[in-house]
Structure 1
Amino acid sequence: MLQFIRIHFLLILLCIPSVYAQEITEFNEEELSYNEFLGYVKKYHPLVRQANLEVTNAQAALMAARGGFDPKIEVDYDKKRFNDTEYYSLLNSSFKIPTWYGIEIKAGFNDTNGQYYNPMDRTPDSGLTSLGISVPLGQGLFINQRMADVREGKLQLQLSDAQRKLRAIEVLYSASEAYFDWKQTYTEAELYKSYLGFASTRFEGVKQLIELGDSPAIDSVEAGITVRNRQLNLANANLKLVKARLKLANYLWIQDVPVELGEKVRPEQNLLQTLPETLRTNEMTVDVNQLDTHPKIQSLETKLDILEVNRQLKANMLLPKANVGYNYISEPERFDSFRAEDYKFNVNFSFPVFLRKERGNLKLAKLKIQDAEYDLSQQRLELQNKILAQQTEIESLRSQKGIIDALVNDYTTMLNSEEKLFSFGESSIFLINSRENNLVNARLSQISIENQYFSSNAQLFRILANPD
């Protein structure tokens, strides 16, 4: 039996690395789509997970604020004995229950023994029980610091969710930029690789024509220059691709393990069609009413609510401090027989004559609210204009994409025609290289405009700040 357990344990250990390796090599596929990439970033990236801690911190702060209403047990015991004489033995214990509206319920037990103590503390031999209530009639009845802390804690929970979204969207935007950079450098490297192949094939053909006497020797020099230029372009593009791939790897995590892309993995080829749907920027319309759900607006509105709670607390300080307490007292064995004449009663009252401190604090609280309202109005306008400007940019880039696509088609037609003329002996390597250079530059412009289009959609996604 022991041998069987050992074998079973070894099999488990052998299976763990294979599962782990499968997770680590999950990206070693032919294509990493943009939607899949964003999914990994949202789920595993440390900064996104760190942003989620905003909500956890707010929940902990709310729990701490609610602790102000927890029932409390207090025990105070003093005893003095010297030279076989018990000077005093004093026991004061209580159980307090704070309530929402500043009212406090208190039950207590006091017991006093000894020869030397304050007569005011004297109790019957069995001790003295009490049950009472304390009510603030001025400050603290409708709002106090404990109530304000709980209200602010609840509002802080809403604020933390908005801040979580704003922090997460920044990570997703940076990750998107890294993905688009990777796609651009990958496409440029593939472009130079294909045109290096064309130039090399042309170079070999020119050398054969020279050997047959159908082309001047200088054509081989010009064709060779083109090949070497393409080699330099490809080497530079490959260097950019490696750097872009490493930059992208900063955002690729599985669980707590960073993942590096394999060299054979390519970016999504159909990104132009899928990007607006992935980022949800294809159906976005500017509506001021819809901005109420924007995390930035929610954050500012929640801060306004927190400032309003503070204003109410400051306004409450204008009231006098007037606390009234009543406690029914009785011996423990006679507590069930009510005697109205056995009680303790206290009244505390204080009121500053000029209230300059309280009025000044209230005015400062109102000014903070006014300042936050101005900021909220400005942020609404800026968000609306940013969305409009970004949508205009996306439409412009979409139009530019159509123009550059037509231009690439025209340059391709010109190059094909020039190659046909060369095959008939009516053109030259110089003209073919010139046409090809124009086509390569047009393709590079096409790739650049596509990347701008991707980045513009990501920027709109960033402005809208909806990472979930």
Structure 2
Amino acid sequence: MERRRNKMRTVIKLFSFLFLLSIVKGYSQDFNKEELSYSEFLGYVKKYHPLVKQANLEVSSAQAMLMVARGGFDPKIEVDYNKKEFKGTEYYSLLNSSFKIPTWYGVEIKAGFDETDGQYYNPQNRTPEAGLTSLGISVALGQGMFINQRMADVREGKLQLKLSDAQRKLRAIEVLYKASEAYFEWRKSYNEAELYKSYLGFASTRFNGVKKLIELGDSPAIDSVEAGITVRKRELNVENGNLKLAKAKLNLSNYLWIENVPVELEDNVKPEQNLIQTLEETLKTSAMMVNSETFEAHPKIQALETKMSMLEINRQLKANSLLPKLNVGYNYISEPSYFNSFNADDYKFNIDFSIPIFLRKERGGLKLAKLKIQDLKFDIDQQRLELKNKIKAQQTEIASLKRQKNVIDNLVKDYVTMLNSEEKLFSFGESSIFLINSRENNLVSAKLSQISIENQYYISNAELYKILANPD
């Protein structure tokens, strides 16, 4: 029997392992393809990255805080029961119970039931044998009538939801920006590695050709040394390029998740090569998509304006404290059996009044609340100006990098023409390996500059995307 149980456990474990393996394999197959586009990569980060999910907790936390604030208006049942009995004598038995319903504007509805029994108790607590019921209302006619702490907490809780959404966007955009940097660095390293590989191939072909020419006596032996030096330089470049690519790929993998499973790129996956045509649409950074409404909808401005609204609630609360405390309560009381027959002479009535003479604490608190609002207004004005200038500066940089890219593209074409011309001259015996290597080195440097400027252009767009802070 025990052997059968162990066998069943082994089978269950095996199936569980195979199931998990199939899940992980299924995830890896999503990236087992020729190209991972930037928009697709960004979509994975938005949906699955833990730090983006963590940013979403800001809103959930604010919802919980709002629930706590609304709890201040929950109906409440209170029961207070005291009894004393000593040496067979019941000194007293006191029952006070109530059901309270707080409402919005400083009004509280209350129903109660009191019962008193025994030989020794305060006469004012005496009730009929069946007990005493009450139904009444308490109204704040001074402080707390138009705003009180419970009302302020609920209003701030609603504003906190809006503030948390803005903070969520600011936290998420940081993750997306860093993920974009990792993708662009991977693309740059990939293109550099491919460039070095291709020119290593050219150098190796040229080296073999020079050796044949030397064997035929058509070229001096020193040419093989120079061609060999170029091959070794290219081999070194390829090795360094592969190292950079491996590190860039591992850095990119920090941002690749599906559900709770991190995913590592396969070696055959390439970055998007047509990125320059799709980038602005993916990041929404084209000049047509950035307008005056961007400033007001910006999460940082929204967060500051929400904080301003919260400070305004605090100011109203401080202004309300200048009013005297005046609470009036009325309760109709009756025996349970007579409750249906109303008698206006049976009631409890109370007035609670107080006011500080100088109100220095209250006036000082109100002044501080007003100063905080004024301070935040200055901050909002400054943030609007800085945001406007940052966007303008980034757009200027993007436009400049576009022009630089056009220049470097033409420069690369010219270097290609020069190299092709030099190779033709060499085939006619009118050039040398030294000149070909010089032309090729200039071309490689120009292409590396081309890759670098392209990468700067991508990062500059990502920085504008970060400034605009619209991750959704």
TM-score, scaled relative to structure 2? 0.96
Aligned to 1:27: 31
- In 2, the alpha carbon distance for the partners of 1:285 and 1:42 equals 21
Residue 16 of structure 1, CA deviation: 5.5
Aligned to 2:144: 140
Runs of 4+ in 1 over 2 A off after TM superposition: 8-20, 283-290
Aligned to 1:460: 464
Residue 286 of structure 1, CA deviation: 5.0
The answer to whether 1:191 aligns with 2:184 is no
Task: Report if aligned partners of 2:294, 2:468 keep a CA contact under 8 Å in 1.
Answer: no
- In 1, the alpha carbon distance for the partners of 2:212 and 2:14 equals 64
**Pairing of 1:232-271 with structure 2 (within 5 A):** 232-271=236-275
Task: Report if aligned partners of 1:397, 1:449 keep a CA contact under 8 Å in 2.
Answer: yes
Aligned to 2:4: none
> What does the per-residue CA deviation read over 1:307-336, in whole Å, with 9 as the maximum and x for residues that have no partner?
000000000000000000000000000000
**Pairing of 1:375-386 with structure 2 (within 5 A):** 375-386=379-390
Task: Report if aligned partners of 1:180, 1:455 keep a CA contact under 8 Å in 2.
Answer: yes
**Which of 325, 330, 351 is 2:334 aligned to?**
330
- In 2, the alpha carbon distance for the partners of 1:326 and 1:411 equals 96
The answer to whether 1:92 aligns with 2:96 is yes
Task: Report if aligned partners of 2:206, 2:227 keep a CA contact under 8 Å in 1.
Answer: yes
> What does the per-residue CA deviation read over 1:41-60, in whole Å, with 9 as the maximum and x for residues that have no partner?
00000000000000000000
Residue 230 of structure 1, CA deviation: 0.5
**Which of 345, 355, 361 is 2:365 aligned to?**
361
> What does the per-residue CA deviation read over 1:320-376, in whole Å, with 9 as the maximum and x for residues that have no partner?
000000000000000000000000000000000000000000000001000110000
**Which of 341, 348, 351 is 2:352 aligned to?**
348
Q: For 1:27, what is the secondary structure of its paired residue?
A: coil
- In 1, the alpha carbon distance for the partners of 2:71 and 2:355 equals 29
- In 2, the alpha carbon distance for the partners of 1:312 and 1:292 equals 25
- In 2, the alpha carbon distance for the partners of 1:286 and 1:125 equals 78
- In 2, the alpha carbon distance for the partners of 1:9 and 1:189 equals 47
> What does the per-residue CA deviation read over 1:78-134, in whole Å, with 9 as the maximum and x for residues that have no partner?
001110000000000000000000100000000000000000100000000000000
Aligned to 1:111: 115
For the structure 1 residues 19 and 256, does the alpha-carbon distance in structure 2 shift closer, same or farther, using more than 3 Å as the test? closer
**Which of 273, 278, 302 is 2:282 aligned to?**
278
Aligned to 2:426: 422
- In 2, the alpha carbon distance for the partners of 1:427 and 1:402 equals 31
Q: For 1:203, what is the secondary structure of its paired residue?
A: helix
Residue 169 of structure 1, CA deviation: 0.3
Unaligned runs of 5+ in 1: none
The answer to whether 1:178 aligns with 2:203 is no
Q: Which amino acid aligns with 1:38?
A: L
Aligned to 1:101: 105
TM-score, scaled relative to structure 1? 0.97
Q: Which amino acid aligns with 2:348?
A: K
Q: Count residues in correspondence.
A: 463
Aligned to 1:219: 223
Unaligned runs of 5+ in 2: 1-7
Task: Report if aligned partners of 1:286, 1:384 keep a CA contact under 8 Å in 2.
Answer: no
Task: Report if aligned partners of 1:185, 1:241 keep a CA contact under 8 Å in 2.
Answer: yes
Q: For 2:218, what is the secondary structure of its paired residue?
A: coil
Q: For 2:30, what is the secondary structure of its paired residue?
A: helix
Residue 29 of structure 1, CA deviation: 1.3
Identity %: 75
- In 2, the alpha carbon distance for the partners of 1:289 and 1:41 equals 27
Residue 289 of structure 1, CA deviation: 4.0
> What does the per-residue CA deviation read over 1:154-204, in whole Å, with 9 as the maximum and x for residues that have no partner?
000000000000000000000000000000000000000000000000000
Q: Which amino acid aligns with 1:316?
A: N
Residue 9 of structure 1, CA deviation: 8.6
